[in-house]
Amino acid sequence: MNQHTVIPSADAGHAIRPWQRDIHACFTAAGITHVPFVPDAGHKGLIKLCAADPSITTTVLTTEEEGVALATGLWLGGRRSVMLMQSSGVGNCVNLFSLLENCRAPFVMLVTMRGEFAEFNPWQIPMGKRTGAVLELMDFDVYRADEIDAIGDTVRGAIDHAFFSRRAVAVLLAQRLIGRKDWSK
């Protein structure tokens, strides 16, 4: 039985972006059956699509590192997953990333970037500047998506790369894709 999580929102009319539909289509085509995530405004539309899809189970995580263990367990049980998180959560997972390397477990995560373009929160900048480097130090293959038209191909390639090569792969979704936040209101 699938359990789907619906994230309550004050912004119930939040639009799903076309690139989020492209990612969801990649999940469907690649046989992704589980999407663990830490709630994040940048992934909101994709989370809604996955939660509404009867072929995908979603799990809300309390911490990002739980998703690393969950994804590894799912893979051992024959299921494919993709984890969603924000760049600030990457630092929370560093110790557990050794599980992926030691077990040669395929792992895919989509990371919405903070600390980049027009960041309003100075606490997001240090990890945002170092996310890619931290992942590479932990033996991830890192792809970056800056252009809307390339997101589908980038995510498809990352999923294939991870599961065919048994590698940890991260796709960094540029902060510009999510859009500039207006916190002056």
Reported as type and span, the H/E element at residue 112 is strand 107-112
> Does the pLDDT value for residue 41 go beyond 80?
yes
Q: Where are the domains of the chain?
A: 30-119+126-176
Per residue in 132-176, pLDDT tens?
999 999 999 999 999 999 999 999 999 999 999 999 999 999 998
Domain 30-119+126-176 in CATH 1.20.1250.20: no
Considering the entire predicted model, what is its pTM?
0.89
Whole-number Cα distances in Å, 28 to 129, 137, 156, 169: 32, 30, 10, 18
Q: Is the dihedral of CA 25, 27, 30, 34 positive or negative?
A: negative
Per residue in 3-13, pLDDT tens?
444 333 334 44
> Does the pLDDT value for residue 106 go beyond 50?
yes
> Does the pLDDT value for residue 119 go beyond 90?
no
Helix (H, G, I), strand (E, B) or coil at 83: strand
- What is the mean predicted confidence (pLDDT) over 97-101? 96
CA Rg value for the chain: 15
